[in-house]
Every structure is written in structure tokens, then in C-alpha cells.
Amino acid sequence: MKISDFNFRYQEQALKDVEIVYRRVQQLLHQLNQPPDTILEKDVKLFCKEARNLYVVRGRPIADEYDPKTANVPEIMLNLEDPDSIMVYYVMFRGVDRFYSEYNAYPGELDDQVEPDIVKLKACISKLLSEWGCGPLAKDDYVHEICRCGGSEFHSISAFIGGCAAQEAIKFITCQYKPVNNTFIYDSIFCKSATYIL
């Protein structure tokens, strides 16, 4: 079989597919009492041509992450077992959230409170991990670092995350490319990022 024969058969099948989809679209428009020119044949042709690039992103409300019944705890546990995973930052920030809700301040916010806040933050994180059914974290280095920063925001990190947010907004506005699905974590120390469906 020649390549030209293969291309001809491919194009012939593509036209048949467009025709089938267009007929079905017209049936659905009729059932919905919509005018037949609501969706044009050229639109159906473009849709069929690009169908291989279609995907569905089913986002979740952030409240689901905070509800123990709907949180994706197995994903968290699985990633915490990997020593190279940056899921530990997610746990740290959830611990900071809990710390703030209990003490109405960020850990290490006051210079003279850094050491006592380390103990309090460890307790918050331990409670959180026990609620999820996870064991303790392997290292305390992360807790010390969070308390040392005292809730401050670094300009370089803020700029990077702002750029990521802008990129995601452009994806939604232009309807191009795949958006980040769910939780995005960035590790500036090792220049790594990851997304998790939590």
C-alpha cells in the first residue's frame, strides 16, 4: 500500500466521522429546540480534527481538602513515604494553617517566640498527621525552617507563584493548553514543582 493510498483512506474516514457527528449534533439541537445553525458544520469539522487533544479537568473545592471525609489522604500518605517528595511542604502549610487558627499568629512571627513556636507547630502537625492516620515526619528541619521564616513572604517566591497564577489565568482566558489540576507545590530550594489531586 502506498502512502498516498493511506492518506486518502484516512481523509475519507475523517470526512465520514465529521458527517456522523454533525448529524448527531443536528439531532440534539432539534431535541433542544435550538436553531440548526447554532453549531455549524465547520465547527464540527474543527472539533473532530482536534478531538484527540480533548481532556476533562474536574477540579475540587478547596474545602474538600480540609474535610477529613473527602480529603485524598491515601495520596498524601503515599507521597510522604517518598523522601524526595515535596508533599512535606503541603503538610507544613496545613500545620501553619492550624497553628494560625489556634494561636492567631504565624509560627516564629515574633523573634523571641521562635523556639516555643517550634514545639507548638510540631504539635499542630502531629495532630494533623494523626487525623490522617500517618506516622510522624522523618525530619524536624522543615518545622524549624518554617518557624525561622516567621510567616514572611520572599519576593522571588512571590514573583514565581504570581507568574504561575498569571499563566493559569491566560490558559483559562484563551482556552488553550491544560490548566494545573488541583494543588500545586513549588520547592524553591531544589527548583522542583509538583501537582497533586488532593
Residue 189: all three cell numbers together: 530550594
Question: Are 193 and 184 contacting, i.e. CB atoms less than 8 angstroms apart?
Answer: yes
Say what the pTM is: 0.68
Q: Read off the pLDDT of residues 170-197 as tens digits, 9 standing for 90 and up.
A: 988 988 888 888 888 888 888 888 888 8
pLDDT at 100: 93
Query: Please, which residues have CB within 8 angstroms of residue 7's CB and are 6 or more apart in sequence?
Result: none
Beta carbons of 90 and 198 less than 8 angstroms apart: yes
Measured CA to CA, the distance from residue 55 to residue 34 in angstroms comes to 26
> Is residue 136 within 8 Å of residue 126, measured between CB atoms?
yes
| CA–CA distance, 105 with 96 (Å, rounded to integer) | 9
Report, as ranges of residue numbers, the positions in the chain whose pLDDT lies below 50: none
CA-CA distance, 142 to 147, in Å (whole number)? 9
Look at residue 141 in the predicted model and tell me its pLDDT.
84
What's residue 4's pLDDT? 63
User: Who's near 135: CB < 8 A, 6+ residues apart?
Assistant: 129
User: Between 87-103 and 73-81, two packed helices, what is the crossing angle to 10 degrees?
Assistant: 120
- Cβ pair 133, 155 in contact under 8 A: no
- By CB atoms closer than 10 A (0-12, 13-18, 19+), residue 96 is buried
pLDDT of 26 reads 93
The pLDDT value recorded for residue 167 is 93
Question: Residue 89 in contact with residue 142, Cβ under 8 Å?
Answer: yes
Instruction: Name the grid cell of 105.
Output: 499568629
